[in-house]
Structure 1
Amino acid sequence: MKNDRVLALTGATVLVGASLTPRRDCTVLVSQGRVSAVGADVVVPSAARVLDLPGHTVLPGLIDTHVHLGAPEEPPGRPVRGRAGRPGAGGGLRTGPGLAGRLSTGAAQVRAVADRMRFQPRKRRAFLEHGVTTACSLGDDNAWVHDFRRRTAEGGLVGPRLLIAGPLFTAPGGHPVATLGAEPGADWVRVPHCREEAREQVAALATGDDPVDVVKVVQDRGDPRRRSLEPIAPGVLAAIADEVRRHGIPLVAHWGTLEDLAELLDAGVDVLQHLEPRGPLHGWPPHLLDAMVREGVALAPTLAVTEALPDEEAAASLRARAAEFLDAGGTLLAGSDAGMPAVRAGAGLVREIELLASCGLTPRQALTAATSAAARALDAPHLGAVEPGRAADLLAVRGDPLADLGALRRVALVLRDGRAVVDRTREKAS
């Protein structure tokens, strides 16, 4: 639900356009959920609500390219588990006999509470409080996440804008079937056994009144020192990729080894998620690095996950590989993998941006990975930049994040479709 009243953000430094070009003492006009004007000489309508933000920076709302929405977040130190024992998976509210019994009595209040809780109110609030206005769900119960997306889009739920893959595609002996016990018929996985079945399953997700935004595949051989996994067969993978291209949406992939990477590049992947020690720990093979850059494949290294590795040398090597990919001309994206036990909604993406900067990226490059580059890779041209016509999903922070990324931890205002969902502008700066 969009806010009909014109809002003017004045007196701030605004990071304008896909390149996040800073313009000082600038005005942003917001109308009907969109940015209508940006500049130093914008005329503010007399009926507009004016919010003066000296000392603040306005930038696009952050985009987390990799989240799992399903499981409620537990206190730090406790595992987050969803359906079939999968961390961060499953969309349903876990109802014990007591709650089920109360629901059967027809108590409207209990039913309403249960309905709200199953759509993760704490997680939704945490994303927004950290300036994350868009989250890309890469593996959640299909019917549930479609319902979640509809409710947030219509304004029934206050939360980030959702881009969704629905279920993920894997092999009968692949992750998460072999690793986390996901039933092959569960609503958050698809396990095609042949090319025709793969095409049918992709088409079912990518068409209709409520199609998915991306399709995700898991191409992962595991770790032969611990557990080998079954990757998707080459013919089935090619059929998935070809059908995804036919419907004009991005193909996103979880991968582990360099052999997995080569097969995904042959199939035509658009976005790679993760950068693990099983991959290019000691350097990129030149032919694979060249192919990634040449084909415009984006990489979200999810460093917030591998930061927890006990081997700091390995974690440092992965950060070096991310920097090499960027230096070669590749596009890095910010994705937290929120839903994993060590990664919190919202806070995980802010940490991911900081870790990208620790790889040698400038603050602007790190912020671009979470804004305009993410929007481009996910084929969401209405997001990711402060410019006329784009969605008014905006973030205002105290200070200058181009000089100090710590400013991202001083969120003053968050707009979602032009509506203030976080407003701390009346608080005194500490």
Structure 2
Amino acid sequence: MEPATVALTQVTALVGDDLAPADGTVVIEGGRVAAVGAVPVPAGAREVPLPGCTVLPGLVDTHVHLGAPDGRGPLALLRALADHLRFQPGRRRAFLAHGVTTVCSLGDENAWVHDLRRRTADGVLAGPRVRIAGPLFTAPGGHPVATVGAAPGDDWVRVPGSPDQAREQVAALAGGEDPVDVVKVVQDRGDPARRTLEPIAPPVLAAITEEAHRHGVPVVAHWGTLPDLAELLEAGADHLQHLEPRGPLAGWPADLLEAMVERGVTLAPTLAVTEALLDAGTARTLRRRVLEFHEAGGTVLAGSDTGMPAVRPGAGLLREIELLAACGLGPAEALAAATTGPARTLGAGAPLAPGAPADLLVVRGDPRTDPGALRRIALVLRDGRPTTRRRPRRGETP
């Protein structure tokens, strides 16, 4: 059953690719945005006055792992198994409760995550829209085979032994009637001071990216060191995940930075997952590197790496946005990294405009100037249907 026509009135809407403010009304019909701005309330519409509130596109977390357990030990594994069988109900609710209406899951059991994507798309399961990579591509001695014990035959990894095998495996995922949204590769040499890892051989890496692009599917890459980055750029990867001290701690090599920007390669630094692991000086340096990439013209995206220890669904993305703002991007650019940036570069989410799905977040205050406004949620809509509505706390603007 389609939702009735709803008019969110007395709001400021952040409209289009540049999140331009438009005061007035947001009209929602049939699960989509029908009109925005100084427009009349349609006859028969249910009016929801929200004075002092801002309506913006639902947030996009560009890096989650929906199938990963939340902890270790027998009880954690039992809970993880139960949640896995039920398609992670707690995580789905938590994402929506924090205004996250789209997630990109980068490394899960292939059959399971395809099923989850179908069920959330059909509305059988409540939750954010799910974009998927399915299994991730790695080397026999690479992460996660050599780190967490993934077996080459597991459904959440692919370990091609040759370029031809790589093409076959990518075609099986990116072709057909139910293709993945992105292909993920792990190109990571590890840490020479602790444990080295095997990266994907360059001919195999090139075959993966070429085949993915032949099917119109972008390539997302986990990386660690500057040699990893150079090989990924040579192979034609589209989106980079993580920014670690093993990478450009001493500065971006000019040729690599120029290549990233010229080719439109995005960077999701996942600062929320490394925040607790790094000393203050190293964390500040990495934030400077994010700002340098941004100031050079690069596109920064917000990804939390939810599924890893201490990064909670939804809350992790809000923290990532705060950390991006602290890099020097400022609140407005950090907000774009979780809304219009993913929509433009990954096709994940959509700007607030007539015809777009009504996946919307309503907050008290203005998140363009105050990142804390994202924590003052008034309403979350998924396909025009309320999933979360909160009364203002004492002292908040109603």
Alignment of 1:107-146 (within 5 A): 118-146=86-114
Matched, 1:54 2:51: yes
The residue number in structure 2 matching 1:190 is 158
Alignment of 1:214-363 (within 5 A): 214-363=182-331
2-structure distance, mates of 1:7, 1:210: 33
Conserved? CA contact 1:70–1:140, under 8 Å: yes
The residue number in structure 1 matching 2:389 is 423
Conserved? CA contact 1:72–1:120, under 8 Å: no
Conserved? CA contact 2:3–2:385, under 8 Å: no
CA shift, 1:426, in A, is: 7.4
The residue number in structure 2 matching 1:66 is 63
2-structure distance, mates of 1:209, 1:403: 43
What is the letter of the counterpart of residue 61 of structure 1? G
Conserved? CA contact 1:62–1:384, under 8 Å: no
1-structure distance, mates of 2:309, 2:359: 28
The residue number in structure 2 matching 1:28 is 26
1-structure distance, mates of 2:393, 2:381: 17
2-structure distance, mates of 1:417, 1:82: 33
CA shift, 1:428, in A, is: 6.2
- Secondary structure of the 1:329 match is coil
> Structure 1-normalised TM-score?
0.88
Q: Residues 403, 339 of structure 1: CA spacing in aligned structure 2 closer, same or farther, 3 A cutoff?
A: same
Q: Residues 349, 146 of structure 1: CA spacing in aligned structure 2 closer, same or farther, 3 A cutoff?
A: same
CA shift, 1:81, in A, is: 10
CA shift, 1:117, in A, is: 5.6
- Secondary structure of the 1:11 match is strand
The residue number in structure 2 matching 1:8 is 7
Conserved? CA contact 2:359–2:382, under 8 Å: yes
Q: Residues 53, 80 of structure 1: CA spacing in aligned structure 2 closer, same or farther, 3 A cutoff?
A: farther
CA shift, 1:311, in A, is: 1.8
1-structure distance, mates of 2:80, 2:374: 34
2-structure distance, mates of 1:201, 1:424: 46
What is the letter of the counterpart of residue 32 of structure 1? G
- Secondary structure of the 2:51 match is coil
Aligned length: 396
Matched, 1:376 2:374: no
CA shift, 1:423, in A, is: 1.4
CA shift, 1:116, in A, is: 8.4
Q: Residue by residue, what CA displacement relative to the aligned partner does 1:377-396 show, whole Å, maximum 9, x if unpaired?
A: 2134xx33110111110000
2-structure distance, mates of 1:411, 1:79: 35
Conserved? CA contact 1:309–1:315, under 8 Å: no
Alignment of 1:99-178 (within 5 A): 118-178=86-146
Q: Residues 348, 269 of structure 1: CA spacing in aligned structure 2 closer, same or farther, 3 A cutoff?
A: same
The residue number in structure 2 matching 1:104 is none
Conserved? CA contact 1:250–1:377, under 8 Å: no
1-structure distance, mates of 2:100, 2:157: 26
CA shift, 1:138, in A, is: 0.2
CA shift, 1:146, in A, is: 0.7
Conserved? CA contact 1:6–1:49, under 8 Å: yes
What RMSD over aligned residues (CA atoms) do the two structures have, in Å?
1.9
CA shift, 1:10, in A, is: 0.8
What is the letter of the counterpart of residue 214 of structure 1? V
2-structure distance, mates of 1:232, 1:93: 34
CA shift, 1:336, in A, is: 0.2
Q: Residues 61, 94 of structure 1: CA spacing in aligned structure 2 closer, same or farther, 3 A cutoff?
A: closer
Conserved? CA contact 2:70–2:80, under 8 Å: no
1-structure distance, mates of 2:32, 2:262: 34
1:394 to 347, 351, 360: 360
CA shift, 1:427, in A, is: 6.7
Q: Residues 329, 30 of structure 1: CA spacing in aligned structure 2 closer, same or farther, 3 A cutoff?
A: same
CA shift, 1:187, in A, is: 0.6
The residue number in structure 2 matching 1:204 is 172
CA shift, 1:73, in A, is: 3.2
1-structure distance, mates of 2:325, 2:74: 28
- Secondary structure of the 2:293 match is helix
Conserved? CA contact 1:63–1:384, under 8 Å: no
CA shift, 1:71, in A, is: 3.2
Gaps of 5+ in 2: none
> Structure 2-normalised TM-score?
0.95
Q: Percent identical across equivalent pairs?
A: 67
1-structure distance, mates of 2:85, 2:328: 40
1-structure distance, mates of 2:28, 2:127: 19
1-structure distance, mates of 2:147, 2:30: 46
Q: Residues 82, 289 of structure 1: CA spacing in aligned structure 2 closer, same or farther, 3 A cutoff?
A: farther
CA shift, 1:115, in A, is: 8.0
